[in-house]
Amino acid sequence: MKLNERGLLVVLSGPSGVGKGTVRKALFEMEGHDLVYSISMTTRPPREGEIDGDDYYFVSKEEFERRIKADAFLEWAQFVGHYYGTPKDKVDEQLKQGKEVVLEIEVQGALQVREKMSDAVFVFIAPPNKETLYRRLLRRGTESNETIQKRMDKAEREFPLAHKYDYIVVNDEVRNAADRILAIVRAEHARTERSIHKYNEIMEVDES
């Protein structure tokens, strides 16, 4: 009996450096789920080892702006000098197919999705403390000191927004954080409001 016809949109968000990407990858390596990842588009140049169409769709500023005008994004944001956005068509198509679609995006973008898709699940990934976040940004070693400072300043502005999310998952240990997210996804599926109409239909319960 499949109760949820439309898929579930899972938004993983939180400050840069918190380990969203690592947690998301660990989540996808786990067994027993049917999640698909929505690949974002960005104007940031690829980091070493990043693959176009796998990590991101890397496009020019002009191309990105053309797509903003064409209303091709579910959400988009400027983050430390570059554009990032979620292509809308693909997400819609996958949700229609009943898939569980995961977005891994920064906070402004997540809040835009919150406005548009109230039935999505919003998970704020938090660092165990501020110092850990700073150390993680430094250790990544892919950005200049100035960029790291900008990312840290931005994180300070994002910490107070966690209350707008449905769940807060502390990334103390990647595997634990991924486990908790999977538990959240499972629990969300069982939520009555997601499945009651379909349930009533199957069980021939009169809703009136």
Residues interacting with ligand 5GP, by CB under 6 A?
16, 20, 40, 44, 75, 77, 79, 84-86, 104-106, 109
**AA identity, residue 158:** E
Q: Where are the alpha helices (DSSP H) in the chain?
A: 20-29, 61-69, 88-96, 107-116, 130-140, 145-158, 174-190, 192-203
Bridge partners (DSSP) listed for residue 82: 79
CB of 3 or CB of 72, closer to ligand 5GP: 72
40-54: string of b/e by CB count within 10 Å (b at 16+)?
A: bbbbeeeeeeeeeee
- Exposed/middle/buried for residue 103 (C-beta within 10 Å: 0-12, 13-18, 19+): buried
**AA identity, residue 100:** E
Least CB distance to ligand 5GP at residue 110 (A)? 7
Least CB distance to ligand 5GP at residue 187 (A)? 24
CB of 28 or CB of 205, closer to ligand 5GP: 28
**AA identity, residue 146:** E
Least CB distance to ligand 5GP at residue 190 (A)? 28
Least CB distance to ligand 5GP at residue 154 (A)? 9
Least CB distance to ligand 5GP at residue 171 (A)? 13
CB of 82 or CB of 186, closer to ligand 5GP: 82
Least CB distance to ligand 5GP at residue 83 (A)? 9
CB of 130 or CB of 186, closer to ligand 5GP: 130
Residue with token string 């570059």? 82
CB of 40 or CB of 171, closer to ligand 5GP: 40
* SS3 per residue for 46-107: CCCCCCECCCEEECCHHHHHHHHHCCCEEEEEEECCEEEEEEHHHHHHHHHCCCEEEEEECH
Which residue has the closest beta carbon to ligand 5GP?
A: 109
Q: Tell me the C-alpha distance between 56 and 43, whole Å.
A: 9
CB of 7 or CB of 43, closer to ligand 5GP: 43
